[in-house]
Structure 1
Amino acid sequence: MRFQLSEDQRALRDGVREVLARRFGPRELRAAADGPPALDRALWRALGDAGFFALRLPESEGGVGLGLPEAVLAFEEAGRVLLPGPLIATHLAAGRVPGAATGETVVTAVDGGLVEWLTEADVVVGSAVPSGAGAGAGAGSGVGATAVAVRSVDPLTPLHRVPAGGPEAAPDPVAVLLTAAEQLGGATRACELAVQHARTREQFGQPIGGFQAVKHLCAELLVRVEVARAAVYAAAVTADPADIAAARLLADEAAVRGARDCLQVYGGMGFTWDVEVHLVLKRAWVRTRRTGGGTESEELLARELLSETGSAGPGLR
């Protein structure tokens, strides 16, 4: 099957990329990483004005009225620029939490006992806003009163740990897929950085991209990105939990291994604070812990495979 973006989808992707390039370019990324964690409320409202949070909200409720494939395209672009903030929780809260759709309200969620951007959030929900759930306590009470700050490897993702409040809800498949889309964006960014550096960095009188070992790293980066992209886009069309789980695993691998390979292309300078690559890797690590992490997706796929094997008859067990 061949997947191809429609003209409207390409326009949406390009529009989101343009907004983000104008409001959160390399200078803003560096400033955010160097300073104390702080959410840019003006940027958040600009995203709301652009319809980022209300993409899947019906037009009758003031939303854009698009579907999951369009949301995946938008979140891929957000992941590509390492846009900070509880984007998924706010997106999923649109239409359920007043002000979330327009970016006036920042919504975060308790996810596996951790909460991202708790001190900057206006509303905290108990999970990734599964269907039918409502808003929880604000950051200044309830969850916020019992939360303990933990050190995050990613300077752009402040974390708090909260006490367990009962059995953990199953991850929302939409949240899992949008996390995969962000990981796909991060993997794409790692690939872009590696190729750009390989073209411009010279050793022994030629660009390092001319050396076979570097060529192989860049080629492997691209292959993982495109395989993950095909899986994420397909899962956005089918919305099948097994497809989403597979897409999540492939996107996590593309993001983490891609950032590591990008570091190898950069060599020793890739580990320095001044180079963006380490931020790409650290964000990828943090995302792998979201919405059940890879373990939940692996278990879901295992159950699916065992179910298919069992239904095929004893000869195939």
Structure 2
Amino acid sequence: MKKTTLTFFVLMISMAVSAQTTIYTNDMDYVIGDVKQAFIQNRITTKTQAQYLIKGLKNLGVNGIRLPIFAEGLTPNKTMFDYFYNLAVAEGFPIFANPAQGEGGHRIACEMLKGKLCKVKDDPSKTAILINRIKSFANEYACKWINPFNEDGAPGATWSLAQMNTIYDTLKDNVNGAELIGPCVWGIPASIRVMNETSIKKNITVASTHNLGYHHKLWSDFIALAKANNFPVWDSEVNHNISESNSRETRLEKAVAAKVDGLVMYNIWNTINLTNGSINNKGKVMMAIYLKE
């Protein structure tokens, strides 16, 4: 290869990498497209829909996809889930997976998706069920990131502090190469408690929280806690809905204003037309916020 050709080739690679790292507002690392409800509700029933869902995610400009983890044997449409997962991986999307629905780890431990939840606190058998399911999922579906919880609450609520430590400690380096992130619990106050009270900091690579309670003023506290431990920060479930308490504030706008390092765009799949992959106006409004002009 001639020197000039090699130089041009290296320059093109450099430009491509630069474009990838500067596509998002504030130079965020990741904007993850969430498709969990599409599979929880069994809304993807044909290969054509799965293909256009992938096309739509590309059109949205996201650079990762979030998938649900169901209790063993309870994936509503495993055939289509597998087909979509393989399409996403083939297209180069890194995968983030965590349990389906609110109190998701709790649901897996109760071996259910819907219905009245069982008691799991201080029950080693329930701890083992969750750990084993997360491990088996990771072995079947290689992921970039995994979290064993989804809105499961602060220590002492659904799970004891000791259980949370056991779950993260056991899963670290046992999820087929995936990075553990977390805590992804309901609201920034609970996430701060998990970060401060458990041993999660020795196991995770990303500090992630939902801001479902619109605790915007606590972003600075959570970010400071994360940065003190050298973690990037994600809002791990965000949308552009209007706050009931203040119509001028949305969680997406506040997360971007706080300069988080990543976003998981909740339910953004429903801005995609599954017959052609186009994006509706709601999706375009969000794109204007998380993408650079």
| Same topology, TM > 0.5 | no
Give the TM-score, by structure 1 length: 0.27
Which structure would you say has the larger RCO, counting Cα contacts within 8 Å and 6 or more residues apart?
Answer: 2
Greater fraction of residues in strand: 2
- Structure number with the higher helix fraction is 1
